[in-house]
Chain A
Amino acid sequence: MTDLAHIRNFSIVAHIDHGKSTLADRLIQSTGTVKDRDMQEQLLDSMDIERERGITIKANSVRIDYKANDGEMYVLNLIDTPGHVDFAYEVSRSMRAVEGSLLVVDATQGVEAQTLANVYHALDADHEIVPVLNKIDLPAAEPDRIKQQIEDVIGLDASEAVEISAKTGLGIPDVLEAIVTRLPAPKGDRDAPLKAMLVDSWYDSYLGVVVMIRVMDGVIRKGDRIRMMKAKAIYGIDKLAVLKPKMVDIAELGPGEIGIFTASIKQVRDTKVGDTITHEKKGCETALPGFKPSIPVVFCGLFPVDANEFEDLRAAIEKLSLNDASFSTEMETSAALGFGFRCGFLGLLHLEVIRDRLEREYDIDLITTAPSVIYKIHQRDGTLMELHNPADMPDLTLIDHIEEPRIKATILVPDEYLGDVLKLCQDRRGIQIDLTYAGSRAMVVYDLPLNEVVFDFYDRLKSVTKGYASFDYQMTGYREDKLVKMQILVNDEPVDALSIMVHRDRAEMRGRAMVEKLKDLIPRHMFKIPIQAAIGGKVIARETLSALRKDVTAKCYGGDATRKRKLLDKQKAGKKKMRQFGKVEIPQEAFISALKMDS
């Protein structure tokens, strides 16, 4: 139990690779929160995928005890948040639990789109913001120019920005002092009824559901009977702890404090992020405003490559959704792929993360079908249908018109790549809303259809700008357009997993690109294979994959028998990664690769 004046709660906002996780590591390390021998990089990112990709997916928190220059001990609570646009929602709610933010900007790169997006979340949450310039030790660092940029682009006073190198540890004591002296202490009333915010929850295989809370008023203790106001559920607190970042049991949490509890909750779905937690008896009257639930925007089918693994996939998806309430699933049957699941995700990164985890943690090879957004199909009989899967598209004669979701995309890009970015946005049916300059960087705002962005827009953007552009978006609403369903036929059989919704004017171009790609992706068979794109019954693009003509080992003598036999075994295993459509085998990776556009 710490008095309010000695607590500081904060988060770190930054663009990817600007050093957020490294700074967090240094703060934890330099205060002795974690012993040097237990230290590892990206300490707060516990998932393998987070470490590999250098990203943060789940929010996490750490409590740091810090003796300030004024001689007093302070409790610093850091909530680490994801940086990627897919998880923007997670960022905004985590920000509501703290009073201040460190705005980390790479002194060699400057402000990026994610910096902006996340700093706006912080400003929305009324945060006090301390700018921090990282990588100041690099020769390319330009602290003065970047400070000016922060003032111009964000409108923050950067004159007292803390200059650091998270890598070498330079300036870390100044950051700790700035947290104490420049960020506000939380407010709250210890004697008022308990009011705590449910910040996040996750599933732990030993403890069950773990709930992270921020106490606003009152005191919560182990053994208390608590009520979740929105979920209308009563629980008894089994365990109360703080994260350092290992769990350390604590007797009570008072106003301004952040910690976790367990209460024999079965599923993450039973907890609502943003819910208000109070005592069962003598609870508070009014709940916190709460948050809207996050809504999946990208859908795709996940099918096991080996149909016998369907039950394994079902079990794995159930386990994953215990921990991630933001992705939705329902059973799907495909004529070509058999049983699988239609899943909804917050964005494409979210999709990739879930798919990677299923393949890696549960060892299931998956076929991922074309990602789709939700289309609103207005039917002639006046009914509205939400289309998650092109396979479910009603007959054309029943359709009056179709609406598709649109987004507002913000892109920051150095001058020299502006032309390429504008071309990319135009090609993807974008409408320019704004174009402004900050120094030598342009900020472009576009109204874009989400279906043109979900798949490979970000990859293309990175590629045409050599990685110098940054990108963020928000959903804006629905608009009518000329949309059609395009089918792909392989050896004259439709492969429903390759069907996509596409704008009529772009159908030929997409169709041609897809059949050309598939011609390269499908290995030659012993017979020739026509590959066609069609709308309704009309073929709009066609390629023919020639029959296999040569596949024979030149030399094979006594000393080669073992090696060739092992190679054959390997090839047989490789065949299992292909799915049979009629007489044709399509490799697993073809389903996603076929959709990638080169221009």
Chain B
Amino acid sequence: MPTHSPNSLRVALPENWQIAGFGLYIHWPFCAAKCPYCDFNSHVAAHIDADRWKRAYLSEIARIGSETGDRVLSTVFFGGGTPSLMNPDTVADIMDAVRNTWTTANDFEATLEANPTSVEAGRFAAYRQASINRVSVGVQALNDNDLKALGRLHTVKEAMSALDVAHANFDRVSFDLIYARQHQTLAEWRAELRAALELSPSHLSMYQLTIEQGTAFGDRFRRGKLPGLPDEDLGADLFLLTQEICDAAGLSAYEVSNHARPGHECRHNLMYWRSGDYAGIGPGAHGRLSFQDRRYSTETELAPGRWIESVEASGTGELSRQILSEEDRDLELLLMGLRTVEGVDPRRLSKRHRVDLRNESLLDLEYIKLDSDRIFVTPRGRPVLNAIIQELVRQT
């Protein structure tokens, strides 16, 4: 049984994280090529010792299991990097270990991120055999020129057939698109999005292209070599258009960049946005774990070589484990929770009085709404969510 703190009885709520469940994130850090916009912890390696990596993951699962083995596991998520480069045997052994370590929930979800090349699609059936029940496919664009500009290794045609293979193997399939690309017009995006909806996806993630420091695009942008990116107004128009078209297609947003038919939301990601507990294993993976009254933030070694050596030498890939202050917990609750349509239950805030829940100008503008048991950001407010959060937490 999970540990209850005596204080949790004070508010008529279970311990915070239990509202959102417990998930496991597994980071596979390798890619076939590094995409120019990507600031994730991904690496291109000439040779990967699959057995050695498998042993390291199994060791980490055992370590986390020894602390949390009494919990019910809701979700597993293989992220990267490109987890669809993993040998299906490795995935199968990891999933076996997962199910031997934890009781899994009835609606247990196991997602794997995949790239839509033919080689990777060829592994989908084997992943299903390994108990993966959801894939998230990195389609990114539905025109070949833009796929090339984004540094992707697949074509639209390949992506289409990969999606077919995915649908043949999994009930739950999502794919990603990146928009607000260089020189992209509203009309072009409208056409592309409609084409995407023709594929009748049950889940779609659409991200505005963000130029991050330390990426190839970041360098090019700094040198003025990345022309044609949308300004704030076009960015806003693209975002609003996306909402309009997806709403009409029955694929409303349940989070800033994520759309799903009812019931097809990604349970693992909802767990993040609802501030659930998660263990993160693999290089650079973050975790949030609650024990008694305390919530800890964990981080592992970032560099793949250092991570695996650390796991082998000292039995843990964890680099740090820090207690989150009440202020930080509140900030994260809002930062993550207000991204969702459902919003946040203010009773979960430790220092509710420090958050300006009744901010007049935000309420007047109808950017936020306040019910008895939740505060949420309206569709009007969602495009300026960051500014809204800053306004709410000004006094913290």
On A, residues with C-beta under 8 Å from B are 524, 526-527, 546, 548-559, 561-562, 564-565, 568-569, 571-572, 575, 583
Contacts and interface: CB of A to CB of B under 8 A. Distances in A.
A549 B236 contact: yes
A571 B235 CA distance: 22
B387 A568 contact: no
Interface of B: 23, 25, 207-210, 232-233, 235-236, 239, 256-257, 269, 272, 278, 280, 284-288, 297, 299, 328, 331-332, 335-336, 339, 361-362, 365, 367, 382-391, 393-394, 396
Given A571-B390, A572-B393, A552 B384 contact: yes
Contacts of B365: 526-527
A446 B236 CA distance: 52
A569 B288 CA distance: 19
B286 A550 contact: no
Contacts of B299: 562
A571 B210 CA distance: 18
Given A559-B286, A568-B390, A554 B256 contact: yes
Contacts of B280: 558-559
B367 A572 contact: no
A555 B385 contact: no
B232 A549 contact: yes
A554 B383 contact: no
A548 B387 contact: yes
B383 A561 contact: no
Contacts of A546: 233
Given A526-B387, A571-B390, A572-B394, A554 B207 contact: yes
A557 to B, nearest CB: 5
A177 B269 CA distance: 81
Contact of B257 (A524, A549, A550, A555): A555
Contacts of B328: 565
B236 A550 contact: yes
A565 B361 CA distance: 23
A568 B331 contact: yes
Contacts of B287: 558
B116 to A, nearest CB: 19
A558 B272 contact: yes
Contacts of A583: 361
Contacts of B396: 572
Contacts of A548: 232, 384, 387
A569 B324 CA distance: 14
Closest A-B pairs by Cβ, 6 of them: A549-B236, A550-B236, A554-B207, A552-B385, A558-B272, A551-B386
B383 A557 contact: no
A395 B383 CA distance: 47
Contact of A549 (B23, B233, B256, B269): B233
A554 B384 CA distance: 11
Given A562-B286, A568-B393, A550 B383 contact: yes
29 contacts: A524-B232, A526-B384, A548-B384, A549-B232, A549-B233, A549-B383, A552-B256, A552-B382, A552-B384, A552-B385, A552-B386, A553-B256, A554-B210, A555-B210, A556-B336, A556-B339, A557-B272, A558-B23, A558-B278, A561-B286, A565-B332, A568-B389, A568-B390, A568-B393, A569-B331, A571-B390, A572-B390, A572-B396, A575-B390
Nearest to B230: A550
A571 B328 CA distance: 15
A524 B383 CA distance: 14
Contacts of B236: 549-550
Interface centre among B210, B257, B278, B387 (most CB of A within 10 A): B387
A158 B58 CA distance: 85
Given A551-B383, A556-B336, A561-B336, 16 more contacts: A526-B361, A526-B362, A526-B384, A526-B387, A549-B384, A551-B384, A551-B385, A551-B386, A552-B256, A558-B280, A561-B272, A561-B288, A561-B332, A564-B335, A569-B331, A575-B390
Contacts of A527: 361, 365
Point out which of B269, B272, B382 has the most chain A C-beta atoms below 10 A from its C-beta.
B272
Contacts of A569: 331
B239 A550 contact: yes
Contacts of B288: 558, 561
Contacts of A549: 232-233, 235-236, 383-384
Contact of A551 (B25, B272, B387): B387
Contacts of A575: 390, 394
Nearest to A574: B390
A481 B396 CA distance: 53
Interface-centre pick from A527, A552, A565, A568 (highest chain B CB count, 10 A):
A552
Contacts of A551: 383-387
A519 to B, nearest CB: 14
A92 to B, nearest CB: 48
Given A549-B232, A564-B335, A568-B335, A555 B387 contact: no
Contacts of B286: 558-559, 561-562
A40 to B, nearest CB: 35
A553 B335 CA distance: 10
A524 B362 CA distance: 15
Contacts of B23: 558
B380 to A, nearest CB: 11
A559 B297 CA distance: 10
B303 to A, nearest CB: 16
Contacts of B386: 551-553
A358 B278 CA distance: 48
Which one of A550, A564, A571 has the greatest number of beta carbons of chain B within 10 Å? Answer: A550
Nearest to A546: B233
A252 to B, nearest CB: 64
Contact of B367 (A526, A553, A554, A571): A526
Contacts of B367: 526
Nearest to B41: A559
Contacts of B297: 561-562
A579 to B, nearest CB: 14
Contacts of B393: 568, 572
Given A550-B383, A554-B207, A565 B257 contact: no
Contact of A554 (B25, B257, B272): B257
A565 B387 contact: no
Contacts of A561: 272, 286, 288, 297, 332, 335-336
Contacts of B336: 556, 561
A559 B284 contact: yes
A550 B384 contact: yes
Contacts of B239: 550, 552
Nearest to A576: B394
A583 B361 CA distance: 10
A589 to B, nearest CB: 19
Contacts of B362: 526
Contacts of B388: 526
A581 to B, nearest CB: 15
A494 to B, nearest CB: 22
A573 to B, nearest CB: 11
B242 to A, nearest CB: 11
B378 to A, nearest CB: 13
A554 B212 CA distance: 12
Given A568-B335, A575-B390, A557 B269 contact: yes
A492 B269 CA distance: 45
Contacts of B257: 554-555
Nearest to B275: A561
A549 B383 CA distance: 7
